[in-house]
Amino acid sequence: MKTRKSNSTSSAVAFAAAVLAVGAIGATATNIVYSINSNNTSLAGPQGEKGEPGSQGPNGDTGEKGDNGETGADGSTPYIGANGDWWIGDKDTGVKAEGKDGEKAFYSAISLTEVNFPSTLKRIDKSAFEATEKLDHFDFSNTKLEDIGDYAFKSNTLITSLSFPKSLNSIGKSAV
Protein backbone atom coordinates (compact mmCIF):
# COMPACT_ATOMS: atom_id res chain seq x y z
CA MET A 1 0.00 0.00 0.00
CA LYS A 2 1.31 3.42 -0.98
CA THR A 3 1.17 6.29 1.48
CA ARG A 4 1.27 9.93 0.78
CA LYS A 5 2.87 12.51 2.96
CA SER A 6 0.73 15.55 3.59
CA ASN A 7 1.39 18.88 5.23
CA SER A 8 -2.27 19.24 6.00
CA THR A 9 -3.59 17.67 9.16
CA SER A 10 -7.16 17.67 7.84
CA SER A 11 -6.06 15.83 4.67
CA ALA A 12 -4.29 13.21 6.68
CA VAL A 13 -7.31 12.76 8.94
CA ALA A 14 -9.62 12.50 5.93
CA PHE A 15 -7.34 9.96 4.27
CA ALA A 16 -7.16 7.89 7.44
CA ALA A 17 -10.93 7.97 7.79
CA ALA A 18 -11.28 6.80 4.21
CA VAL A 19 -8.86 3.91 4.77
CA LEU A 20 -10.79 2.90 7.88
CA ALA A 21 -14.07 3.08 5.92
CA VAL A 22 -12.60 0.83 3.25
CA GLY A 23 -11.53 -1.64 5.87
CA ALA A 24 -14.98 -1.53 7.51
CA ILE A 25 -16.75 -2.58 4.31
CA GLY A 26 -14.27 -5.31 3.54
CA ALA A 27 -12.59 -3.73 0.50
CA THR A 28 -8.88 -3.72 -0.06
CA ALA A 29 -6.71 -0.80 -1.01
CA THR A 30 -5.75 -2.50 -4.26
CA ASN A 31 -9.18 -2.15 -5.91
CA ILE A 32 -10.13 1.38 -4.81
CA VAL A 33 -8.10 4.45 -5.71
CA TYR A 34 -8.13 7.58 -3.59
CA SER A 35 -6.48 10.84 -4.42
CA ILE A 36 -5.72 14.05 -2.62
CA ASN A 37 -5.83 17.21 -4.69
CA SER A 38 -2.74 19.35 -5.18
CA ASN A 39 -3.72 21.67 -2.32
CA ASN A 40 -4.02 18.69 0.04
CA THR A 41 -7.50 19.83 0.94
CA SER A 42 -9.82 17.12 -0.32
CA LEU A 43 -9.90 13.41 -0.74
CA ALA A 44 -11.75 11.83 -3.68
CA GLY A 45 -12.78 8.23 -4.08
CA PRO A 46 -14.03 6.37 -7.12
CA GLN A 47 -16.94 7.90 -9.06
CA GLY A 48 -20.31 6.36 -8.29
CA GLU A 49 -23.09 5.44 -10.70
CA LYS A 50 -25.10 8.19 -12.36
CA GLY A 51 -28.11 9.18 -10.28
CA GLU A 52 -31.63 10.10 -11.32
CA PRO A 53 -32.17 13.59 -12.81
CA GLY A 54 -33.07 16.28 -10.32
CA SER A 55 -36.24 18.34 -10.35
CA GLN A 56 -36.65 21.43 -12.54
CA GLY A 57 -35.20 24.53 -10.96
CA PRO A 58 -36.94 27.92 -10.88
CA ASN A 59 -37.14 30.04 -14.02
CA GLY A 60 -34.43 32.62 -14.41
CA ASP A 61 -34.95 36.34 -14.91
CA THR A 62 -36.07 37.65 -18.29
CA GLY A 63 -33.11 38.78 -20.35
CA GLU A 64 -32.67 42.09 -22.10
CA LYS A 65 -34.65 42.79 -25.26
CA GLY A 66 -32.65 42.02 -28.40
CA ASP A 67 -32.13 44.26 -31.40
CA ASN A 68 -34.73 44.45 -34.15
CA GLY A 69 -34.10 42.25 -37.16
CA GLU A 70 -33.45 43.51 -40.66
CA THR A 71 -36.30 44.93 -42.71
CA GLY A 72 -37.82 42.26 -44.92
CA ALA A 73 -38.22 42.45 -48.67
CA ASP A 74 -41.33 44.08 -50.10
CA GLY A 75 -44.15 41.63 -50.62
CA SER A 76 -46.69 41.32 -53.39
CA THR A 77 -49.63 43.68 -53.51
CA PRO A 78 -52.96 41.85 -53.48
CA TYR A 79 -55.38 42.75 -56.26
CA ILE A 80 -58.80 41.77 -57.50
CA GLY A 81 -58.56 39.51 -60.54
CA ALA A 82 -60.89 39.43 -63.55
CA ASN A 83 -62.84 36.61 -61.86
CA GLY A 84 -63.60 38.81 -58.80
CA ASP A 85 -61.24 36.88 -56.49
CA TRP A 86 -58.29 38.24 -54.53
CA TRP A 87 -54.98 37.52 -56.26
CA ILE A 88 -51.46 37.74 -54.82
CA GLY A 89 -48.82 37.79 -57.52
CA ASP A 90 -49.93 35.15 -60.04
CA LYS A 91 -51.90 33.10 -57.46
CA ASP A 92 -55.70 33.13 -57.22
CA THR A 93 -56.54 32.90 -53.49
CA GLY A 94 -60.06 31.65 -54.27
CA VAL A 95 -61.46 34.33 -51.93
CA LYS A 96 -64.15 36.55 -53.44
CA ALA A 97 -63.37 40.26 -53.15
CA GLU A 98 -66.59 41.25 -51.46
CA GLY A 99 -67.82 42.30 -48.08
CA LYS A 100 -71.29 43.12 -46.83
CA ASP A 101 -72.48 44.79 -50.01
CA GLY A 102 -68.84 45.81 -50.50
CA GLU A 103 -69.06 48.49 -47.79
CA LYS A 104 -65.77 49.40 -46.14
CA ALA A 105 -63.90 46.80 -48.20
CA PHE A 106 -60.55 48.54 -47.58
CA TYR A 107 -61.61 50.94 -44.85
CA SER A 108 -58.53 52.16 -42.96
CA ALA A 109 -56.19 49.73 -44.77
CA ILE A 110 -53.22 51.96 -43.96
CA SER A 111 -50.58 49.71 -45.56
CA LEU A 112 -52.37 49.38 -48.90
CA THR A 113 -50.29 51.10 -51.61
CA GLU A 114 -51.76 49.78 -54.85
CA VAL A 115 -55.01 48.24 -56.09
CA ASN A 116 -55.65 46.76 -59.52
CA PHE A 117 -59.30 46.62 -60.54
CA PRO A 118 -60.89 43.94 -62.73
CA SER A 119 -62.45 45.02 -66.01
CA THR A 120 -65.80 43.70 -64.72
CA LEU A 121 -65.96 46.15 -61.78
CA LYS A 122 -69.30 48.04 -61.78
CA ARG A 123 -69.61 49.54 -58.29
CA ILE A 124 -67.47 50.97 -55.49
CA ASP A 125 -69.55 50.76 -52.31
CA LYS A 126 -69.84 53.09 -49.34
CA SER A 127 -66.52 53.88 -47.60
CA ALA A 128 -64.73 51.20 -49.65
CA PHE A 129 -61.40 53.08 -49.67
CA GLU A 130 -62.03 55.53 -46.83
CA ALA A 131 -58.91 56.40 -44.80
CA THR A 132 -56.51 54.14 -46.69
CA GLU A 133 -53.79 56.81 -46.28
CA LYS A 134 -51.12 55.54 -48.72
CA LEU A 135 -53.06 55.24 -51.98
CA ASP A 136 -52.29 58.20 -54.20
CA HIS A 137 -54.11 57.24 -57.41
CA PHE A 138 -57.07 55.20 -58.59
CA ASP A 139 -57.45 54.11 -62.20
CA PHE A 140 -60.88 52.78 -63.14
CA SER A 141 -60.52 53.64 -66.82
CA ASN A 142 -60.44 49.98 -67.93
CA THR A 143 -63.47 48.93 -65.86
CA LYS A 144 -67.25 49.08 -66.33
CA LEU A 145 -67.66 51.23 -63.22
CA GLU A 146 -71.14 52.79 -63.00
CA ASP A 147 -71.59 53.85 -59.37
CA ILE A 148 -69.41 55.14 -56.54
CA GLY A 149 -70.91 55.00 -53.02
CA ASP A 150 -70.90 57.68 -50.34
CA TYR A 151 -67.52 58.39 -48.68
CA ALA A 152 -65.78 55.90 -51.02
CA PHE A 153 -62.45 57.78 -50.94
CA LYS A 154 -62.99 60.05 -47.94
CA SER A 155 -59.95 61.04 -45.82
CA ASN A 156 -57.39 60.06 -48.46
CA THR A 157 -55.14 63.10 -48.44
CA LEU A 158 -52.53 61.70 -50.83
CA ILE A 159 -54.79 61.19 -53.87
CA THR A 160 -53.24 62.93 -56.87
CA SER A 161 -55.33 61.33 -59.64
CA LEU A 162 -58.62 59.53 -60.24
CA SER A 163 -59.39 58.08 -63.69
CA PHE A 164 -62.97 57.03 -64.46
CA PRO A 165 -64.56 55.26 -67.44
CA LYS A 166 -67.35 56.77 -69.54
CA SER A 167 -69.73 54.23 -68.00
CA LEU A 168 -69.73 56.12 -64.62
CA ASN A 169 -73.27 57.30 -63.81
CA SER A 170 -73.24 58.44 -60.19
CA ILE A 171 -70.87 59.55 -57.45
CA GLY A 172 -72.11 59.44 -53.82
CA LYS A 173 -71.95 62.29 -51.34
CA SER A 174 -68.51 63.14 -49.96
CA ALA A 175 -67.04 60.36 -52.08
CA VAL A 176 -63.74 62.19 -52.35
Which runs of E-coded beta strand occur in 90-132? 91-96, 123-124
Give the dihedral sign, CA 60/65/69/74: positive
Report angle CA 156, 140, 84 to the nearest 5 degrees: 100
Question: Which pLDDT score is estimated for 43?
Answer: 61
- Residue 136 confidence class, pLDDT cut points 50, 70, 90: confident
Average pLDDT over residues 134-158: 88
Question: Which pLDDT score is estimated for 166?
Answer: 94
- Residue 2 confidence class, pLDDT cut points 50, 70, 90: very low
Average pLDDT over residues 159-174: 91
Residue 41 backbone dihedrals phi, psi, to 5 degrees: -115, -15
pTM confidence score: 0.43
